Structure 1
């Protein structure tokens, strides 16, 4: 049996237009079980369920939102699994399922984790009690709102208590956390990214399903990527060669291919020579793709990460420059009752300009006439102070009449 489960934070299911878009994506993904988080719906009706999943054989369970926050909706195809029991918590909904084909029983929990550490501890305790109560192989998936390692968040540099608590919960119950295929993060915006959505499962499920893969699907309608968990007995054969059209955009690719082709030399019939040259060309293309061209997805992720880091660096430089500008304008404004660093640049700028207006001489009486010419005012002020502080010859009264006694040279010491 093959089982496909989708987990997706949809950021709201309000509006018929979004229902139609979600319906189209669910139809293309062909999942057996779908868990949607952050529905922002207090009530879920049959009509809404029919609007977002076209499968006629459907059943569902939901956790209503608190106002416009939270909400979980779990949908499943009744031709694949049958619900035996259900449980609804504060941050999760759980179903005890039985496979229709082989009657294998297992449990699934969909969660939308809280942001507060104290509330997270309540979530871990509730899930632990459910595991102990049902005592079945278990799938756990959803938006946990927490990461396990610093590498799962862009820019994170150290472990935190909530990371350690999450890893302790996984280790305590022996859950498996498969690597994510198709990308590093499951949520991102213009400045940050993290892996807060994932699937966990019990080792006992490995005895029933020989293959597990956790994949990130393309992001649509939300800032969260949908996550697909596939479980089953997949047998992968030899992957056939496929020519990639993007190779044609690589610099010098056509010249390299022509050089290879012209330097292949074989003996035999024309059809044999053509077949051997094609086989050799395919081998060279595979080697070139691995060693020179590289994995374009990995390159894209690396460039994207470098871009995020560069943006963060530029933002830090901009904030520093803004603070220096504020310090400069504060000094010019002579305002001391406001401190630096509180985004008061605009106020300091106005005060400095006000001081400049107070220090400006708009009109001045020059030689009995009122003048507003700044050049004449500047020249007059300059000449005034030159005359004031220049050394001039002055007539002293009675220069030869008054005789003042003087200190003799002998008494100078």
Structure 2
């Protein structure tokens, strides 16, 4: 199943993000008409952003772990002695970096917890909305099945049913493959 692309707001908080996107956009070389070039460049940018996001997410997690360890070491030292002015500055800088990382992570999660345009924090509301989403997704909204009124509807014979269920010939299979899912052939036409 193809996943959809979603711009993450926290990307805007990463230093150099806009310049990176600008440089990627300018490095893409595409020939063709304007709408084709735009479409191809957007797809290329989407791939770059997804790869970059995975990489940066991993780096941010490692950075967070590293900063938490550094903070724990400084706090441990503070329990045994008075910290120097330099150590206090390092501790303050670590706390600021951790706060920035926390804001990015919060932004990421907040963006993922929006239902019908509203921020949802209540676990029960999230659960109810998920159940309702899948209930609607897998519930038939149209009454396309025949009702019992059509019990005396003409039926095909077993021979006609067998003919309809026969294996495809290679020629028919090739024609169907050439249809590509969004193309249709005219009556008795071959591509």
Tell me the TM-score range normalised by the shorter chain: 0.3 to 0.5
TM-score (norm. length: structure 1) = 0.18
| Length-normalised TM-score, structure 2 | 0.37
Higher RCO (CA-CA < 8 Å; seq separation 6+)? 2
Structure in which a larger fraction of residues adopt helix? 2
Q: Higher strand fraction: Structure 1 or Structure 2?
A: 1
Larger radius of gyration: 1
